[in-house]
Amino acid sequence: MKLADVCRSMEQWAPLAWQESYDNAGLLVGDPSMEVKGVLISLDCTEEVVEEAIQKGCNVIISHHPIVFKGLKSLTGKNYVERTVNKAIQHSVALYASHTNLDHAPKGVSYHLAQQLGVHGKVLLAAENALKQISYFVPIAQQEAVRIALHAAGTGNIGEYSGCSFSSEGIGRFTPSVEANPVIGQQGIPTEVQEVKVDMIFPSYLESSILQTLKKVHPYEEVAYYIQSLGNSWNEVGAGFIGELDEAMSGEDFIQYVKKTLGLSAIRHTPILDKAIKKVAVCGGAGSFLISEAKRQGADAFLTGDLKYHEFFDGENSCMLCDIGHYESEVMIKDAIHTYLSNIFSNFAVLKSETLTNPVRYA
Ligand SMILES: [Zn+2]
């Protein structure tokens, strides 16, 4: 197995196109044609994690946070980022990060945080502009072959349904020029063909590969098609997660429940509200940008990391805001990546890092 195979598998779950514009997810260090001996999964990539990988015979590290984030201008070892990258290069260890793309992916970071807490529901802020529609015209005899090829390329998936499309029959008209080489009809003669118009939905990031497939399998020299952006939000893709606990509980009980379930020593939270906690929103990592959406959807509590002092005021008296720590809100993604890759690859070790990379301590 090559490094490229591991990257491709990660990107089938969390396509790089879903990362935020400020992010730097993807392959950071390493030759994609390199043979994989073992994969080590970590939340952060540090010198200690690279050392652990070397000790355990792993030559690929998959982390959630990209060690190269703001860009590197030198590799002299003057800070931990440069030293980590240096060490990885010196020992031929590849570094790959799946960050905000994995936050947004179906069953991503926030989903797993919610799962641990027994919160069942949906994505809090569904992705916009992530879906498009392709409509193309094809002779009736070839409609099935084209449709099957396009589905294989990633069209027609809506929630738990695959192979979705809509066809309508009609008459296609064209006149081939003297330079044309038509499959049906003759140069200079107006032609009519019984055609089918097919509409399908697809993820925007697949546009170029879907067009390539269409042009490859469609019988016509000039394929008639159009692509439209859709206003539909994509409910499985997006930021945060919201749902309900099996049973409502008091604010005090909820705090104790979260501490116990996630094994936390402390939670920073706004004052306990005089209401039961049933609807809970979560966001792994720094999720203050979702406070207003959590409130809008009626969350009794919102759990995330990295809340600033003034952001705690935004809970008002409707939503209890809980800062459980950045590391603590995301560390469970290690298990999810481990399960995902272990199910795909059996010919090399996929291990979870045992290094505690959380730089925050509680006294
Ligand atoms: Zn994070």
Domain C-terminal end among 198, 232, 266: 232
Instruction: Judge whether 178 lies within some domain.
Output: yes
Judgement on whether residues 58 and 111 belong to the same structural domain of the protein: no
Judgement on whether residues 322 and 339 belong to the same structural domain of the protein: no
Sheet containing strand 131-139, edge to edge, reads 166-174, 191-203, 131-139, 225-229
Write the DSSP symbol of residue 18: G
Are β-strands 60-63 and 94-97 bridged in parallel, bridged antiparallel, or unpaired?
parallel
Judgement on whether residues 255 and 116 belong to the same structural domain of the protein: yes
Task: Write out 297-309 in H/E/C secondary structure.
Answer: CCCCEEEEECCCH
Q: How many angstroms is it from 363 CA to the middle of ligand 1?
A: 22
Q: How many angstroms is it from 193 CA to the middle of ligand 1?
A: 55
> Which of 65-69, 156-160, 266-270, 342-346 comes out lowest in average pLDDT?
156-160
**DSSP letters for 232-292:** --EEEEEEEEEEEEEEEE-HHHHHHHHHHHHT-S--EEPPPPSS-EEEEEEEEEE-GGGHH
Count of the separate structural domains present in the chain: 3
Q: How many angstroms is it from 29 CA to the middle of ligand 1?
A: 20
Supply 99's token pair. 């960050």
Judgement on whether residues 140 and 204 belong to the same structural domain of the protein: yes
CATH number at residue 285: 3.40.1390.30
Q: How many angstroms is it from 116 CA to the middle of ligand 1?
A: 17
Supply 250's token pair. 């008091």
Per-residue pLDDT band for 71 (boundaries 50, 70, 90) equals confident
Q: How many angstroms is it from 169 CA to the middle of ligand 1?
A: 50
Judgement on whether residues 210 and 343 belong to the same structural domain of the protein: no
175-210 residue pLDDT tens: 999 999 999 999 999 999 999 999 999 999 999 999
Q: How many angstroms is it from 230 CA to the middle of ligand 1?
A: 30
Judgement on whether residues 284 and 223 belong to the same structural domain of the protein: no
Instruction: Judge whether 52 lies within some domain.
Output: yes
Average of per-residue pLDDT across 211-240: 96
Domain of 267? 106-126+238-330
Domain C-terminal end among 166, 201, 232: 232
Average of per-residue pLDDT across 307-322: 96
Supply 295's token pair. 């409130």
Judgement on whether residues 296 and 166 belong to the same structural domain of the protein: no
348-357 residue pLDDT tens: 999 999 999 9
Q: How many angstroms is it from 253 CA to the middle of ligand 1?
A: 27
Q: How many angstroms is it from 267 CA to the middle of ligand 1?
A: 17
Supply 101's token pair. 């793309």
Judgement on whether residues 153 and 205 belong to the same structural domain of the protein: yes
Judgement on whether residues 295 and 338 belong to the same structural domain of the protein: no
Q: Which residue's structure tokens are 């006149």?
A: 175
Q: Quick check: 126 and 182 in contact, CB under 8 A?
A: no
Are β-strands 277-286 and 301-305 bridged in parallel, bridged antiparallel, or unpaired?
parallel
Instruction: Judge whether 292 lies within some domain.
Output: yes
Q: How many angstroms is it from 269 CA to the middle of ligand 1?
A: 19
Q: How many angstroms is it from 91 CA to the middle of ligand 1?
A: 26
Q: How many angstroms is it from 50 CA to the middle of ligand 1?
A: 19
Q: How many angstroms is it from 68 CA to the middle of ligand 1?
A: 14
Instruction: Judge whether 360 lies within some domain.
Output: no
Judgement on whether residues 27 and 73 belong to the same structural domain of the protein: yes
Q: How many angstroms is it from 305 CA to the middle of ligand 1?
A: 8
Judgement on whether residues 29 and 177 belong to the same structural domain of the protein: no
pLDDT at residue 143 tops 90 = yes
pLDDT of residue 159: 86
Domain C-terminal end among 205, 232, 259: 232
| Pick from 250, 202, 254, 257: nearest CA to 227 | 202
Judgement on whether residues 300 and 341 belong to the same structural domain of the protein: no
Following CA atoms 58, 64, 68, 71 in sequence, which dihedral angle do they give, to the nearest 10 degrees? 160
Q: How many angstroms is it from 70 CA to the middle of ligand 1?
A: 15
Instruction: Judge whether 357 lies within some domain.
Output: no
Q: How many angstroms is it from 304 CA to the middle of ligand 1?
A: 10
pLDDT, the chain, mean: 97
What is the percentage of the chain residues whose pLDDT exceeds 70?
A: 100
Per-residue pLDDT band for 310 (boundaries 50, 70, 90) equals very high
Q: How many angstroms is it from 190 CA to the middle of ligand 1?
A: 61
